[in-house]
Amino acid sequence: MKRSWCQVNLRSIWKERTEKMEFRWLTPFTTGCERENKRGDLSASIKRLDNTMKVVEISDTRKITIIEKVEPQIVNPDDVIIRVAAVSICGTDVHTFTNTHPFVKPPVVVGHECSGVVTAIGSKVKSVKIGDRVAVDPVLGCGTCTPCTIGRPNACAEVKCRGVHVEGAMQEFFKIREQDVYVLPDSLSDTVLGAAIEPFAIGAQAVWRGGVRSGQNMVIFGAGPIGLTTMLMAKVRGAECILVDLKDDRLDNAIRLGAAAAIRADADDLKEQVRGVTGDQGVLVTCDAVGNPDIVDRCVELVDPTGTVILLGMDGSQNNVTELDIFRKELTVVGSRMNSGMFPTVLDLVGQDQLPLSEILTHRFSCERADHAFDMAIEQPDGFIKAVITF
Ligand SMILES: [Zn+2]
Ligand SMILES: [Zn+2]
């Protein structure tokens, strides 16, 4: 099976990165589409609805309406249409639902963490076929600027994310481009779990950007879904992670998923507790997985000299970090935005059963009950990590 040009490019870019940075995953890098897909039979069970489909729309503040729309059609030669299997809910989607997102306002169709089965392909599509089960990378660059041409469209000045800047995946059929879809490994029997590939790609990006490696101690502020996927990717790299959060049940989740320690963010002796875990080895990576200026300050304060601070979220307000803080400890401060070509790496690890996707998608809802899914994502009952809507 041939790879698309985009995937070939990403592969060579990844190789370049690994050579430059001596950064390697524990597993060989392969693209999902290199594997033969044996699930073509699934297409037989796809139900067509006379050219109309159900769409989950955030129609107003805290209001979900199931509307009918005409199904998408193949127009461009690289178009791919999938029958959506599942879309998981992200913090961004919750902000849109509560009408607190800075620029995404109802009525809108959100959803950027998505899996499904290919139902139609354009004339030039080679890397997937009808019946393939896939995950969708939602990052859309302009395609021509320097970041885009070096395989980092997430840093494009014109970058768009499906489900945020443009229409999202919460609909029965979803049209994307060939370069956006990645075939799920056969060993992942539940297609719904493919929705969790995107949040793991965010974690993979953070771990790559932070140069996290075996034997390092990493402190992650925020034990929500992204803090946890970052931890799980860092653990694959051989690092030990300490998670910090204000909620006890989130700290429990972190321990259950393999954190070396979980500490309350409001502990007066946070620094001492961290030292108690790491001993003389110290902390060479800290990560703000919340997006809060106070946490950036604490990340810079807590990390040891020569360490790296990963900024994985941001709320746009000012922190108190000074040049002197960074200069004295000779720190590296990196941003990590969405992901750039991390889907193949994540899917490879999923194929080896190294990532607990089902542990992250804790609560399932049918699309008719999408409003309950959003309510639960706000309430966050004990044990909750992520809600997923199935179609
Ligand atoms: Zn997300
Ligand atoms: Zn661009």
Q: What is the pLDDT of residues 308-344, one digit of tens each?
A: 999 998 887 888 888 889 999 999 999 999 999 999 9
Choice between 166 and 12, residue whose per-residue pLDDT is larger: 166
**Does residue 267 lie within any of the structural domains?**
yes
Residue 173: pLDDT band (50, 70, 90) is: very high
Scan for tokens 């950007």, then name that residue.
209
What ligand is nearest to the CA atom of residue 340? Answer: 2
Rounded CA gap, 194 and 113, in Å?
Answer: 8
Domain match, 195 and 217 both = no
pLDDT at position 322: 87
**Does residue 204 lie within any of the structural domains?**
no
Domain match, 184 and 89 both = yes
Q: Quote the ligand 2 centre to 221 CA distance (angstroms).
A: 31
Domain match, 100 and 249 both = no
Residues in the chain, overall count = 391
Q: Tens digits of per-residue pLDDT, 336-386?
A: 999 999 999 999 999 999 999 999 999 999 999 999 999 999 999 999 999
Residue 139: pLDDT over 90: yes
Average pLDDT over residues 196-216: 98
Distances (CA, A) of 139 to 127, 142, 274: 18, 10, 36
Domain match, 27 and 104 both = yes
pLDDT at position 261: 98
- Write down which residue in 289, 306, 335 finishes a domain: 335
Q: Quote the ligand 2 centre to 88 CA distance (angstroms).
A: 27
pLDDT at position 19: 37
Domain match, 49 and 192 both = yes
Mean of the per-residue pLDDT values of the chain:
89
Instruction: Please name the amino acid found at residue 4.
Output: S
**Does residue 186 lie within any of the structural domains?**
yes
pLDDT at position 5: 37
Q: Quote the ligand 2 centre to 204 CA distance (angstroms).
A: 21
pLDDT at position 252: 98
- Whole-number CA gyration radius for the chain: 21
Q: Tens digits of per-residue pLDDT, 8-54?
A: 344 444 444 443 333 334 333 333 333 333 343 344 344 445 799 99
What ligand is nearest to the CA atom of residue 113? Answer: 1
Q: Quote the ligand 2 centre to 150 CA distance (angstroms).
A: 10
Domain match, 186 and 256 both = no
For residue 390, give the 3-state DSSP assignment: strand
What ligand is nearest to the CA atom of residue 94? Answer: 1
Q: Quote the ligand 1 centre to 362 CA distance (angstroms).
A: 15
Cβ atoms of residues 374 and 349 within 8 Å: no
- Write down which residue in 290, 311, 335 finishes a domain: 335
Domain match, 30 and 77 both = yes
pLDDT at position 313: 84
Domain match, 222 and 331 both = yes
Scan for tokens 């990165």, then name that residue.
17
Q: Tens digits of per-residue pLDDT, 259-297?
A: 999 999 999 999 999 999 999 999 999 999 999 999 999
**Does residue 235 lie within any of the structural domains?**
yes
Residue 255: pLDDT over 80: yes
Q: Quote the ligand 1 centre to 153 CA distance (angstroms).
A: 16
Q: Quote the ligand 2 centre to 152 CA distance (angstroms).
A: 8
Tokens of 314: 């941001």
pLDDT at position 314: 81
**Does residue 345 lie within any of the structural domains?**
yes
Q: Quote the ligand 1 centre to 189 CA distance (angstroms).
A: 23
What ligand is nearest to the CA atom of residue 144? Answer: 2
Residue 165: pLDDT band (50, 70, 90) is: very high
Domain match, 169 and 30 both = yes
**Does residue 205 lie within any of the structural domains?**
no
Q: Quote the ligand 1 centre to 162 CA distance (angstroms).
A: 10
Domain match, 54 and 190 both = yes
Domain match, 143 and 95 both = yes
**Does residue 206 lie within any of the structural domains?**
no
pLDDT at position 318: 87
Q: Quote the ligand 2 centre to 359 CA distance (angstroms).
A: 35
Rounded CA gap, 218 and 203, in Å?
Answer: 13
Domain match, 55 and 127 both = yes
- Write down which residue in 292, 315, 335 finishes a domain: 335
First to last CA, the chain: 29
Domain span holding position 65: 5-199+339-390
Structural domain count of the chain: 2
Query: Quick one: which of 266, 260, 256, 253 has its CA closest to 223?
Result: 253
**Does residue 192 lie within any of the structural domains?**
yes
Average pLDDT over residues 127-139: 98
CATH number at residue 253: 3.40.50.720
CATH number at residue 54: 3.90.180.10
